[in-house]
Amino acid sequence: MKICFVTHKVKKGDGQGRVNYEVILEALRQGHEVMIIASELSEDLAKHPKVEWRKVSAGRLPTELLRNQLFAVRTTFELLLRKRQLDLVVVNGFVTYAKSDINCIHFVHSAWLASRYHPYRERKSFSSLYQWIYTGLNRYLEQNAMKRTSVVVAVSDRVRQELIQDAGVGGERIAVIRNGVDLQEFHPNRATRADLQLDEDKLYALFAGDIKSSRKNLDTVMKALSHVQDVHLLVVGDTTGSPYPKMAAELGITGRVRFLGYRTNMADWMSVSDMFVYPSRYEPFALVLLEAMAAGTPVIASRICGASELFTDKFAIGIDDPDNTEALTDAIRSLATDRERLNMMGADARNAALRHSWSKMAEQYVRLLEEAAVRKSMPLVEP
């Protein structure tokens, strides 16, 4: 079988790109041929004898909105020229105007547009207006793309519900396959505090994400931290244009907040932290939570995150309202005052993550693709 994957990136270090990478590896392991229409591809797949890469550039247009449109037009022509060579076409959301067989959804623009946390609802500015236009157009294009596909894959039960309620997709067409995690990269004791120049006797909470916008909710984390003594916060994320260093100063916690900037060694920082705090205001899955679990780090997160479906009280604390500073404060304090509980939760987090390896996820995807190909090849029966 020859499967075509149409997406922007197929590479490690990118959430959606990593899922594509693992699924393609598994398809190759099972003897399938693969065509990839993408802008970026990992070097090992580009050199694989059973991979045909059709590189499509998104150009140098000034906005992501325009670049995505150019990419979609170019991929449409690529598919039209080669559709007779292909048994199955797999896409991610709206990436082409051509018809697909499987559409894997990692982010539901319909739900984000309706969310009370969308930037345009928080403040009116040129930037938030652009975000509103961008989300609205993607909502329309994404819905049309899903209408023209046989199976829609959701990365969580939360995404499945959003697809049904906000995007109008029939539940019978949706399969749920949760993301996986690299259990070799993310594991306990990967690094030492001495390696990262951290104090052995201090208690560290870790936050990671985009700290230029309010969606990841670092503001509530820092407000909670201001009410909990003796906890230090490590923040991974590019601080360029971020309001949070100033906010830390205003809250009087600058001495307990360390902004690390962008880091490629997240597994190291997770393995030395005492807890991972992530009360995101909107998150279809949040792979970073599963990575923290694999690193043996207890998790505090909002139940809005799709990955919270994996939580149990043994290793995680779920916050119903991400803006509830008091609840987040109580959660951090409850762990900070019980080191024995932290250690037990870390072990349980790792054990839970063991059930969600990339290979197990990829096997589910390939099984779904093979079943879809069989159905596609069956002749239509007249009623």
CATH fold match for the domains 2-180+357-377 and 203-353: yes
Per-residue tokens: 354: 């063991």
Question: pLDDT category, 200, cuts 50, 70, 90?
Answer: very high
Picking from 118-122, 229-233, 255-259, which range would have the lowest pLDDT averaged per residue? 118-122
In the chain, where the domains are located: 2-180+357-377, 203-353
Question: Is 80 exceeded by the pLDDT of residue 383?
Answer: no
The pLDDT of residue 379 is 72
Residue 122's pLDDT band (cuts 50, 70, 90): confident
Mean per-residue pLDDT of the chain: 95
Identify the sign of the CA torsion 250, 251, 253, 258.
negative
Residue 157's φ and ψ, nearest 5 degrees, are: -65, -35
Right CATH number for 203-353 from 3.40.640.10, 1.25.40.340, 3.40.50.2000, 1.20.1300.10? Answer: 3.40.50.2000
Rg over alpha carbons for the chain, rounded to the nearest Å, is: 22
pLDDT in tens, 5-37: 999 999 988 889 999 999 999 999 999 999 999
List, for residues 239-287, the tens digit of each pLDDT value.
Answer: 999 999 999 999 999 999 999 999 999 999 999 999 999 999 999 999 9
35 and 82 Cβ atoms separated by less than 8 Å = yes
Please say if the pLDDT value at position 214 is more than 70: yes
pLDDT band per the 50, 70, 90 thresholds, residue 123: confident
Query: C-alpha angle 368/370/371, rounded to 5°?
Result: 65
**Six-digit token pair at 71?**
């990419």
- What's the whole-number mean pLDDT along residues 116-127? 90
Would you state the pLDDT for residue 192?
A: 96
Per-residue pLDDT reduced to its tens digit, 56-97: 998 889 999 999 999 999 999 999 999 899 999 999 999 999
pLDDT of residue 58: 86
pLDDT band at 133 (very low <50, low <70, confident <90, very high): very high
Tell me what pLDDT residue 333 has. 96
Is the pLDDT assigned to residue 163 strictly greater than 60? yes
- Kindly report the length of the chain: 383
Confidence tier at 328 by pLDDT (50, 70, 90): very high
- Model-level pTM? 0.93
Domain at 2-180+357-377, CATH from 3.40.50.2000, 3.40.50.720, 3.40.50.970, 3.40.50.620: 3.40.50.2000
Work out whether the CA dihedral 83, 85, 87, 91 comes out positive or negative. negative
